[in-house]
A and B are shown apart, each in its own frame.
Chain A
Amino acid sequence: MTAAIGRGLVLVSLFCASAGAVAAFAAFLRKSSQLTSIAVRAAYGFAASMILANLWMVAALLRNDFSISYVAQVGSVDLPTWVKVVSLWSSLEGSILFWGFVLAIYIAVATRSLNESHGPARPAAIGVWLLCATFFGFLIAGPAQPFGAVANVPTDGPGPNPLLQNHVLMAIHPPFLYGGYVGMTIPFGLALAALLTGRLSPTLLGTIRTSLLAPWTFLTCAVVLGGWWAYEVLGWGGYWAWDPVENASLLPWLTATAALHSAILTERRGVLKGWTMSLVISSFLLTILGTFMTRSGIFNSVHSFTQSAIGPTILVFLGIATLASVVLLAVRVDLLKPDGELDRGASRDTAFLAQNLLLVLFTFTVLIGTVFPLIVEAARNVQMSVGRPYFDRMTIPIGALLLFVMGVGPALPWGSTSRDELKRRLLPPLGLGLVALALALAFGVRTPWTLITLFFAGYAAHVTLFEALRPARTRMKFRTDGWRKAFSQDLFGPGLRRLAAYVAHAGAVTAFIAIAVSSTRATSLERSLQQGETMKLGRYSLTFEGIEHTEEAHRTSTIARIGVKKDGIELAPLRPMMNQYQNQRESIGTPDVRTGLSEDLYLSVMNIDEASGTIGILALINPLVSWLWIATVVMAIGGLMALFSSMRVGHAAPATPNFETAPVR
């Protein structure tokens, strides 16, 4: 009975989405406001029923209602409450249902904020969103039905994949990733609407930018949270392995970042309209490709649950969406005429272009390395993978160049300028760059790419700080404002958007430093230890003191207690462990990390042999890793500030341009 109600809610949402899509496109073709309002109501109907279906599933998980197939598959009576709730996205069917939930929220909010001023783009965009909603409604109702009826209702279930129960990040990472992935549907719909109507108005461009910022912020967090999860759970000592599922989350982030920047050129100069739309569309298509790669089971990972019919279905959707986008771009892009032209020469325009090309290059490199094994296997039935050295060798130079552009770009003025002015702007940041280089050399860094990265990072840090503070400093100088008043204009006035960009850049520079140092300066040691035996790693000495046990309802843990001394000073012991979950054959290790601002001490047990009192242990010193997490928070704050400023502009009348923000065309 409860399963039937769930199925009913899903069917209602599928009906609303499909009927609404038809109404929306009819409204677009006939320019009918009556049909538009039907489509709007259908969009709300889809959102409401899809959200209810999700709540229904969460309630069933909490009540241990094993008469619903999904609950019987992932539920278990003994689970802690938080695990029961997050079980919603811990397996295939539930995760697609959760996709529907996020899509419902996005569509409801976006439909509400699209007003009459968007003209015919409004029904067109709603139509595209509801078409996507129709597809996911169909997936949930058909191939990935979570509300199946169970004939012989069991009294208990197996619980979700133990790797997913192992860490609280499992509760956080997927919602962020979905917030990013699913959210790309909104700018995609708006971009197709621009192509369908043949006009990219400033209002529409502004809405596209706003709707990109929300998923971009989520995705920024999600990419790094995935790395953090790998770091805290998988126990191999790093956070990024160029694994296909990791690449899947990175790819749309790269194109979305490019789109956010090219949108600035489109806004200022009225150029690159088709290019910006292509980037927005690519971001969406890459999220669908990523979903296909992670959900279809073609790459084995913690994300691919079982082989199922869902893979081919997503592939078909990807094919149709790609074809429709390419055809629309080819037929309509000429209608998006440029209103101005780019400045050539050493100007910020050129830096934006370079950044865009580099990001697209980055995307292609990662994309080809990720899908190449699939193509070879399909064509020649040979199994292989592309090794990590390929990704490292290809992406490190591109990354360093990006960092260079991030330093030089904001230092350059818009439009052409005199040679002296260029010197005045470009030379001073060399100071901090050289300081960074000298520091790195003093710390013994000799890897060329790390040195280059740190030099560029110092340069970019100077430019970012200087540019972030420039408007406030100018105000203090010319209006003799106090610093508090001068800054409040940036924080609460029209300067927020500019400040947001530099906050995001500051985060990015920090991330570059953290990645460059942590990936080249880690030291590791792998050994077997007898009880009481001590091993040395850098300034640490690690003693295997003994084995402990803990029992919880859903797991038993065997813990290796490791005494830690740094330079002879006793620190709190670390406890890497092996966890044995109920109903699972193998035990799963959990590393223990002593996090610090300068370095992490990372301990992971490979095996514990209680009979002989030996453990196999992997110990690493990872420098600056925690700065990657900090950098991500800073970038996300930058994204939120930008989102806030652009939403404010969207609602109020366009702000009077101050001397740093350009007039909106």
Chain B
Amino acid sequence: MTEETKATKTKAGLSRRTLLKTGAAATGAVIGSGLITGFPTIWAQNPITLRQFGTGVSNINAIAEKCKADLGITLEMTATDSDAAAQRAVTQPDSYDVADIEYWILKKVFPAGVIQPMDIKKLKYYDKIVPLFKTGKLTPDSVIAQGTAPHTVGFVEAPGEKTFAKGETQYFTMVPTIYNADTLGIRPDLVGREISSWADIMDPAFKGKTSILNIPSIGIMDAAMICEAMGIIKYADKGNMTTAEIDTTIDFLIKAKQDGQFRAFWKSFDESVNLMASGEVVIQSMWSPAVAAVRSKGIACKYQPLKEGYRSWGGGLGLASHLTGAQLDAAYEYINWYTSGWVGGYLNRQGYYSAAMDTAKEFMSADEWGYWIEGKPAAGDIMSPEGKVMEKAGAVRDGGSFTERMGKVACWNSVMDEDRYMVRRWNEFIAA
């Protein structure tokens, strides 16, 4: 049904485009559908509302409030989980103006034509965006990580293209907003030994006290890190496994599950916090704010750096294809505001990383910058953006500085060519 509606829309859009050829050429970036509701070039709609949905920054109300105060743009934010976000991006393209999605979701949804690329000439802070998102290298001599690295889905040759460009072009699919390097969380008081490798989660000593996350596209990457660390398999590309590699990985997981290695599988952030805080598990896949949440309960929890490196993820803001005229201008203005520093500082202080580090620095104190980004011991107490004490003076961030953490990314969250097969096998693992 969705497909039908979409087909008619696109057709209507095309015929209108032929009719208003000059107008369409002028707007340039406009592709696909979108209802023209008046005179698009005049700021007729005032106040402007942008509907944003997604997984990452859409969870943060403070950003919407600040945006309203600074720009007068009302952000209506809806937070969902990754699966639902992917689903909504494709099936209800008219229900949002700005998509806040991860890069692997973008890889899935972009070919459906629901996101329009941005002209970098209109992005004020494009030059400030860290090179990781342009070339895949944080520093000139970094190794490009496996998986759906953001730069591989970051550009298209021209508006309307359904395939991604090989290198940097004028058309940027998403402006990166928030990213981080994930690893295993541990309870240092309960593991009773040094944890240094992804393989440690399979240690028989932790039988029935481990957990991995049950979101197939992310869980499979953690599993891949574990399998490779244990020497079971060497992947050509963890982010794009062959069916044979998927079989080996899942068979290994099924065996571990049947041997009782796992206590539970978690799907949501708070499940992972509860598992760790209650002591049901002592080592598990975890996200950085979940570690902070466990620690805020006064329970020791460490985001353990591991020698094989991190599994990284990143999200960004994409513009819906239907945006035109004033709405589109407002969306660009929002994104430029977004990268101008205040939000970056906010995200950095939450333990994520912002894409435009230089602008964010201006909005952070020297001590905050030192603790979060440079990996230095905190001089004073480190506060969360909400004003709660996160770390006491003297604390050092797990994993160290920005370059140390993001420089050791082994793979990115990804979507594979054999995605459907992987999901089917993953379901077998959960049912086994």
Q: Say if A and B assemble together.
A: no
Residues of A bordering B, CB below 8 Å? none
